[in-house]
Amino acid sequence: MKIFDISIKNFRGIKSLTNLKVGEINSFVGKNDSGKSNILKALDLFFNEKFNSNDVFKGIGNEEKTEITIRFDTQQQINPLALDADGKIQLIKTFSFTTAGKVAKEFFYVCNDINNDQYNNCWGVKEADINGYLTSLEVEFSKSGRGVTNLSKIELVDENTKNFGRKEKINVADDFIKNIQKQYDFIELPEYSLFDAEQDLNVGSTTFQSQFKPIATQSLQNNSALTYQIETNVQGDLETEFGLITELMKRNVPNLEKIKPNVACNWGTLVKFDLSLKFASDTFEIPIANKGTGFKRLLMVAYFEYLAQKTTKKYQIFGIEEPETFLHPELQNDLLESIILLSESSQFFITTHSPVFAGATRDSNIVVVKKTNEISEYFNYENEADILNVVIKELGIRPNYNLLNDNFRKAVFVEGSGDVKFWERAFLKINGSLPADILFIPCGGDQVEFFVNAELCRKINRRFIFILDSDKGATDYVSKLANKALLIAKVQELGGEFDILRKREIENYYSKDAIQRLLGNDFILPAEFEIKDYTDIKEEIKTHILAPSGLNFKSKNNFDIFDEMTKEEWINCATIVEDRKTDIEIIIEKILNE
């Protein structure tokens, strides 16, 4: 289930926040101590229920509680009696302290319920209660048999109570999730992992270890005979020792026959690991705990790239505080690319001072955080110009001042650092050289930084062109243009040119022959491996190369492939557009054009 919006009361610096709408990637920007992390911590409280006295809003009333409400979009149809008036699954958790100082928790769900006190809370009661509702309604039904489920009975209740109307009600949700999961296998609360600024990706943390727990569990299952033998051996050894103790006890308890230990091995909680590093120039391995914070942040980049390559069944939500800390801008882009890829099946909540991460989102998912009189406020700006101006001011974004250098006659904006490397190689292989008067700038069209640079180009009459690519939602060139229509209009409004690669993304310009040469004779590419215009080549490489061979072969931004490709292969792998010229050749000409 995907989070649709969030409401918070009496949590840290938040007095009241109502229906903060969120998307796949959500960037929270603002000055230090404005309260950017409050949302991430509130999500941690909701999903992982970590609550302490520091989480309570300082101005809370005597009878008030800390309350977190999350509405989920199921993205599939379910019975309306489980949903609120807007068709969302709405869950509320409250937290407070008892007079004894213990944490008191309550769990509710909101539904557009039957407006009759006799028939309530269909998704939170037992089957016997639902049977009672149907009996009271004088509806004929079967208590069991083929096709008879709680869902089928609730649907009967729903159908036969239409005349009462509907009213939003709050019900205790103790059994709600369990009941609804029995009827809909796709309903599952997401897992939430928080990477806070102080944690530095501590490998011993539950957040980090839990990602690898399924591997350990599967390994234990695969070696059940071995674990059984271990348990048997432990049982035998203990029985031997307690046999000696039994004989000693018989002196005082003559009728005692034996003392038998019962061994219970909880293998699931046994496995925990640490990490050490071995460098080529060193003799000994070094515990990662001995490395600096910057190195641990590099591990974060690799870790999220690893997650992006895996397919996990459970929907996941990640909270990351200031991921840019100790990361060079190019590594920020690498981390961002993994986050964007993961966001196809996960959600991200990021606090940041970096224009790289602030600009990663669609404008509606940039949240500006301000603090007034110790209370944090969160702003989604409906007007695009407003939010751009506010974010630029809050982050203190400055343009790329290389644009002021008269040695550069044209700027070429591309969507990422990988695209810069791609076009540099395209120029060298196809054109024979890289022009010194062309400035390549990686700052994608959805990034705030692009608009700062494009505005500077407009003011100083610096010509610029924007090269678009990587539109995963498109299946052809026309649909790509349609998907990018708003961005193209912005580029033209700012006085720039644009062009767009005809294929899905730069990986679709790989040469199969060059890949085979790099692989050598160790692995022969199967006939099933094809490089088509709009397929996911990274996934094709994983399926047809990595999985069967076990080779370490980079699927995304593999510039060894582009370096290996000949000029003819570059041209043959591009798309012929007009006059026997390919899209790459036409774009190069457009860039060079005075």
User: Virtual CA dihedral for 10, 13, 18, 24, nearest 10 degrees?
Assistant: -120
Does any domain span residue 593? no
- The token duo for 279 is 């460098």
Q: Tell me the C-alpha distance between 364 and 379, whole Å.
A: 10
Residues 412 and 486 in one domain: yes
Mind listing the pLDDT tens digit of every residue in the chain (594 residues)?
899 999 999 999 999 999 999 988 898 988 888 999 999 999 999 999 989 999 999 989 888 999 999 999 987 899 999 999 999 999 999 999 998 889 999 999 999 999 999 999 999 999 999 999 999 999 999 888 887 899 999 999 999 999 999 999 999 998 899 999 999 988 888 888 888 765 545 666 666 666 666 677 778 888 888 888 988 898 889 889 888 888 888 888 888 887 888 877 777 666 666 777 777 777 877 777 777 666 766 777 777 777 766 655 578 898 988 888 877 777 787 788 778 878 878 899 999 888 778 766 654 588 889 888 889 988 876 555 566 677 777 777 777 888 888 889 999 999 888 899 999 999 999 999 999 999 999 876 556 778 888 888 988 889 999 998 766 667 788 888 887 888 888 889 889 999 999 999 999 999 999 999 999 988 999 999 999 999 989 889 999 998 898 888 888 889 999 999 999 999 999 999 877 899 999 999 999 987
Query: Is the Cβ–Cβ distance between 51 and 103 less than 8 Å?
Result: yes
Q: Tell me the C-alpha distance between 435 and 83, whole Å.
A: 60
- The token duo for 146 is 């083929």
Does any domain span residue 368? yes
Q: How far apart are the first and last CA of the chain?
A: 52
Q: Tell me the C-alpha distance between 245 and 256, whole Å.
A: 11
Does any domain span residue 70? no
Does any domain span residue 66? no
Tally of domains in the chain:
4
Residues 464 and 410 in one domain: yes
Residues 264 and 303 in one domain: no
Q: Tell me the C-alpha distance between 522 and 510, whole Å.
A: 20
Residues 294 and 387 in one domain: yes
Query: Is the Cβ–Cβ distance between 190 and 316 less than 8 Å?
Result: yes
Query: Is the Cβ–Cβ distance between 117 and 107 less than 8 Å?
Result: no
Does any domain span residue 331? yes
Residues 422 and 532 in one domain: no
Residues 301 and 392 in one domain: yes
Alpha helices by DSSP H, 404-556: 417-426, 448-460, 477-483, 485-493, 512-519, 537-541, 547-549
Q: Which of 229, 123, 111 is nearest to 178 (CA)?
A: 123
User: Virtual CA dihedral for 521, 523, 524, 526, nearest 10 degrees?
Assistant: 180
Residues 383 and 531 in one domain: no
Can you name the residues that pair with 111 across neighbouring β-strands?
169
What backbone torsions phi and psi does residue 281 show, to the nearest 5 degrees?
Answer: -85, -5
> Can you give the pLDDT at residue 39?
95
The DSSP letter of residue 533 is: S
Q: How far apart, in Å, are the Cα atoms of 339 and each of 342, 444, 460?
A: 5, 15, 35
Q: Tell me the C-alpha distance between 21 and 19, whole Å.
A: 6
Does any domain span residue 330? yes
Residue ending a domain, choose from 470, 500, 530: 500
> Can you give the pLDDT at residue 363?
47
- The token duo for 219 is 């390994």
Residue 481, Cβ neighbours under 10 Å: how many?
A: 15
Q: How far apart, in Å, are the Cα atoms of 35 and each of 328, 376, 506?
A: 25, 6, 39
Task: Compute the chain's Rg from CA coordinates.
Answer: 30
Residues 339 and 473 in one domain: no
Does any domain span residue 112? no
Q: Which range of residues forms the domain containing residue 526? A: 506-573
- The token duo for 215 is 């591997």
Residues 368 and 429 in one domain: no
Residues 513 and 444 in one domain: no
3-state SS assignment for residue 347: strand
Residue 139, Cβ neighbours under 10 Å: how many?
A: 14
Residue ending a domain, choose from 500, 533, 556: 500
Query: Is the Cβ–Cβ distance between 425 and 419 less than 8 Å?
Result: no
Amino acid at 297: R
Q: Tell me the C-alpha distance between 505 and 344, whole Å.
A: 16
Residue ending a domain, choose from 473, 500, 527: 500
Domain containing residue 292: CATH number: 3.40.50.300
| Ranges assigned E (strand) in 22-133 | 25-29, 66-73, 89-97, 103-114
Residues 292 and 368 in one domain: yes
Does any domain span residue 384? yes
Query: Is the Cβ–Cβ distance between 286 and 277 less than 8 Å?
Result: yes
Query: Is the Cβ–Cβ distance between 348 and 26 less than 8 Å?
Result: yes
The burial of 78, by beta-carbon neighbours within 10 Å (0-12 exposed, 13-18 middle, 19 or more buried), is given as middle
Residues 387 and 461 in one domain: no
Query: Is the Cβ–Cβ distance between 351 and 330 less than 8 Å?
Result: no
> Can you give the pLDDT at residue 359?
64
